[in-house]
Amino acid sequence: MDPELIVFFVLIIFLVFAAIQLFYYSIIFIRFVFFKASKDISEIVPVSVVICARNEAENLEKNLPLILKQDFPDFEVVVVNDCSNDETEDILKRFKQEYKNLKTTFIKEDEKFKHGKKLALTVGIKSAKNEWILLTDADCIPESDQWISCMARQFSANVSIVLGYGGFTETKSFLNKLIRFDAAIIALQYFSFALFGRPYMGVGRNLAYRRSLFFANKGFAAHARLESGDDDLFINEVSKSNHVVIEPSKLSHTRSEAKKTFKRWVEQKVRHFTTFSRYNKKDIYLLGTENISRVVFYFSFVLLLIQQEYWIIAVSVFFVRLVLQLIVFKNTFKRLNERNLFIISPLFDLILPFISLGIYLSNLLRPRSQWR
């Protein structure tokens, strides 16, 4: 084949996938940039915060009081002690004497019956007395004492699910920046898609839904055997565009410590990847297209630079996409209170799709554990 024709073909591919990238940023992701959340509570709705804990004594000691002391007039905190063999039970007994809004329950270990986190969540939700369930993890801390209030201001008669943001505590390491960037971009995606009318997931570190919705869907029955999916698969199954709202304000965030090693982070990502293939097909297509288009966009751009024949067109289009992307990133990091990510964000945007591909392939061979 004529080399000039090959280069022209690469240019066409580059322009097609650049157009796809521009569609995602200018039509979908930009919605999060301009979103304005409701700031007033129309009425006080009782809330049940549900936390599952397996050997989380240290985290409960540090974090649970920050939740129990939230500035909200009507809430309970339900902690499920899931087969812990550390001091979790002693700590919970002590806190119950101090905090009247703390309720605890437990699951006894049974060597003949192995279970995952979904059973603990189900026990906690069954134990809750209120219609609205707010989920977080034992290793998470609320960003402020307004966490429950901010999430609860989105509760209304026509809302069934509220998506919040669960970020990671900042440190100075390169890996920490990568993990926080990944979390912020995942949030940008699920917030933006919800605003686009295609809600597809939430994160269990900060997620609220109706108790009645949980039982109407038979809980996690459809994916009970999977270790993951208590947040994203459940939301993917039950969400309707007019029943889902987002709450991204800074006071509504939760934070937890990021993994300290690349290996541990990859292991965490591998578990999360087990659920993607079970998403709604339209969601798989939309999310997969963005990821693939990014890889092809970068790859074809490099080829055009090497060939040099169409480099002016390539650089011009690349620059337009970069400017739009940086506008979205800057506003996203600001809304999610993620600092020191903006300058390095183009590099992370380049390497993350390839990391994800490697994680996906390793996920096919990895044995599964039961509790995350």
* Percentage of the residues of the chain whose pLDDT score is greater than 70: 93
Of the listed ranges 17-26, 253-262, 354-363, the least confidently predicted one is 354-363
Domains of the chain by residue range: 3-33+282-363, 37-260
Report the alpha-carbon angle 291-238-118, nearest 5: 90
Select, from the ranges 97-111, 244-258, 276-290, the one with the highest average predicted confidence (pLDDT).
244-258
Please report which helix (H) or strand (E) contains residue 181, including its range: helix 174-195
- Encode burial over 248-282: b for 16+ CB neighbours within 10 A, e otherwise: bbeebbbbbebbeeeeebbebbbbbbbbbebbeee
Domain 37-260 bears CATH identifier 3.90.550.10? yes
More confident residue, 200 or 360: 200
What would the mean pLDDT of 192-203 be, rounded to a whole number? 94
pLDDT at residue 369 is higher than 50: no
Amino acid at 280: N
Average pLDDT, whole number, for the chain?
90
Which among 345, 327, 304, 330 is positioned nearest to 180, based on CA atoms?
A: 345
pLDDT at residue 47 is higher than 90: yes
More confident residue, 207 or 263: 207
Sheet holding 161-163, edge to edge: 102-107, 75-82, 47-53, 132-135, 207-210, 161-163, 244-246
Instruction: Assign 370 a pLDDT band (cuts: 50, 70, 90).
Output: very low
pLDDT at residue 238 is higher than 90: no
More confident residue, 83 or 183: 183
Amino acid at 243: H
Which residue is it, tokens 């919040």? 164
CA atoms of 288 and 280, how far apart (whole Å):
12
Backbone phi, then psi, for 363, in 5-degree steps? -65, -25
**Predicted pLDDT at 365:** 61
**Predicted pLDDT at 371:** 46
